[in-house]
Amino acid sequence: MNEANARCDERTQLEQRVAAHPFLIGLSRHHIRLLADCALLTDFSAGQSIFRAGETANRFYLIEAGHVVLESGDDSAKPIKIDIIGPGDLLGWSWIFPPYKWHFSARAVEPTKAIFFYGTILREYCDKDPILGYELFKRMSEVMIKRLQRARAQLIESMTKA
């Protein structure tokens, strides 16, 4: 197999993985191709920091295998666990909302495989294709509501223990 065919096969496999992720089920073939255009496969080792609160949010991940803990807090305090994110979940929505800063920190708790998306490129695609932007916004809004409710529950629990 020549190099061009190998790249074509890799691209096709990446598009298939993007299309098969539960977060993106039902998107049009055109939108899947746009998403795959700014995607890479990535791995994290257990304990590896993925991002920290306050850093620039310029990406997001779709988790395929493994688990990631989402935490709130700074370096001076014990972090508060917000959520455990696993296969089929989205990690990171701050790339789509100004000022594009992470609100929480994320760390792999075990070896984790994910699809990485360049958020800065994807924002440009969303500006040019409002239907794509709206679809992603609707899906991310669902995730945000669930995560914020979990964060609220964790904060209430931590306050009652204090």
28-61 tens-digit pLDDT: 999 999 999 999 999 999 999 999 999 999 999 9
pLDDT tens-digit readout, 94-118: 998 899 999 889 999 999 999 999 9
Amino acid at 31: H
CA 73 from chain centre, in angstroms, equals: 20
Using the structure block, give the residue that is written with the tokens 């310029």. 58
Domain definitions of the chain by residue range: 41-161
The domain defined by 41-161 carries CATH number 2.30.29.30: no
